[in-house]
């Protein structure tokens, strides 16, 4: 019964978010969904290392999610902001 209640609450919240998203013309910014995701994303605000496809490593601060949902990292080496669509992200809490 507890599982049913949890799933029901989850689906109700998802239905509301989807309705807001569609009402805003599928615009994540106008619907407010992007800002909600940024607020709850534990990676945003952290120092990270991203292992990108092709063996490239990116080190910097995760600062945002862009309009496509990609993680935006400000590189430590030169402060250039780079959006990351795929890669292994490690939080550098102790490095």
Is residue 95 very low, low, confident or very high in pLDDT (cuts 50, 70, 90)? Answer: low
Mean pLDDT along residues 8-32: 94
Higher-pLDDT residue of 62, 87: 62
The 8-class DSSP code of residue 13 comes to H
- Determine the pLDDT at residue 70: 93
Is residue 36 very low, low, confident or very high in pLDDT (cuts 50, 70, 90)? Answer: very high
- Determine the pLDDT at residue 54: 87
- Determine the pLDDT at residue 94: 62
How far is 16 from 45, CA to CA, in rounded Å? 27
- DSSP 3-state of 30: helix
pTM, 2 dp: 0.78
- Determine the pLDDT at residue 1: 87
The 8-class DSSP code of residue 32 comes to T
Q: For 94, phi and psi rounded to 5 degrees?
A: -120, 10
């Amino acid at each position: 019964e507890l599982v049913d209640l949890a799933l029901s609450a989850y689906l109700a919240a998802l239905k509301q978010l989807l309705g807001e998203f569609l009402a805003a013309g599928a615009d994540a910014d106008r619907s407010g969904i992007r800002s909600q995701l940024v607020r709850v994303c534990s990676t945003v605000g952290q120092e990270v290392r991203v292992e990108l496809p092709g063996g490239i490593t990116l080190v910097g601060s995760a600062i945002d999610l862009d309009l496509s949902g990609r993680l935006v990292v400000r590189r430590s080496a030169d402060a250039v902001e780079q959006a990351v669509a795929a890669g292994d992200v490690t939080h550098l809490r102790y490095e």
